[in-house]
Amino acid sequence: MNFNEEELHRYSRQIILSEIGVEGQERIMHSKVFIVGAGGLGSPVALYLAAAGVGEIAIADMDVVDVSNLQRQVIHHSEDLGREKALSARKKMLAINPNIKVIAHTTAINANNIEELIRGYDFVIDGTDNFAAKFLINDACVKLGISFSHGGILRFGGQSMTIAPRKSACYACLFDAPPPAESVPTCASAGILGSVAGMLGTIQATEALKVIAGFGEPLYDRLLSFDAKSMSFRNINIKRNPKCRVCSKTEIELKDYEAQACEANV
């Protein structure tokens, strides 16, 4: 791939990194990432991946922008109130980098459409706010062999792990099933510091770029957990479950899980 002068200047701070270089930037520019959720996590992910030059980014969210979102969902502005989040996000991404392709989906993902939506993408970002969606994303990505990043936030903390299907532990290896209804608080009831969403979203964006460009050590078989109050981080080693109900199976039937509150409501 031949970079034009504008591209060389735009991405110069990445290209100069020995771990990325010209070849890594080419991989980034040829890559396709699907972001599920244009909220607290999806906002920084979308902005940074667009800025980094990811060639095609799809973002899906069925919701519209509400004033309560603006405290943490930084891709949306006051002028976007009432607008579909996916369309609002697309506008800001193209404003940062008009050289990329952005596809906005204003529909909810479900077992009937997720395969068609994410098929052909190189990486998926889970920026959702409920367990049902998180388990569905895991199942679909494992089935299709697409690497993805899990993320969750609440109050002052967050957690993330990166999954290489059938190579590293998947989300179902760690959490076998959604918790009982009403057993876990949501951000609406427990609260969330807006900047915490930014902290975790940038981690997820970095994980995507690491996997795409092929550098560093992604969060495979590790759950990264942090507490912003003490600014403490820890890595929890996890192992793939040889009897996992998802990634140990050769055939995976997708289903819509019962909607539950999530520890990572964004």
Per-residue confidence (pLDDT) for residue 190, from 0 to 100: 76
pLDDT bucket at 261, cuts 50 / 70 / 90: very low
Phi-psi map region of 145: left, alpha, beta (phi>0 left; psi -120 to 50 alpha) = left
Beta strands in 132-251 (DSSP E): 147-154, 157-163, 222-227, 232-237
φ/ψ of residue 250, rounded to 5: -80, -30
pLDDT band of 265, cuts 50, 70, 90 = very low
Residue 10 to residue 210: CA distance in whole angstroms: 19
pLDDT at residue 53 greater than cutoff 70? yes
Question: Which has more pLDDT, 42 or 177?
Answer: 42
Q: Report the half-sphere exposure of 4 (CA within 13 A, side-chain side).
A: 2
For residue 249, pLDDT over 80 is answered with yes
Q: pTM score, two decimals?
A: 0.94
Per the listing, tokens 């890559």 go with: 31
Collapse the DSSP code of 146 into the 3-class scheme (helix H, G, I; strand E, B; otherwise coil) and give the result. coil
Q: Which structure tokens are listed for 130? A: 């409920």
In tens, the pLDDT along 134-184 reads 999 999 999 999 999 999 999 999 999 999 999 999 999 999 888 766 656
CA distance 169 to 52: 28
Q: Using CA atoms, how far apart are residues 183 and 187, in angstroms rounded to an integer?
A: 13
The domain locations on the chain are: 17-237
- For the chain, how big is the Rg over CA atoms in Å? 18
What CATH architecture is 17-237? 3-Layer(aba) Sandwich (3.40)
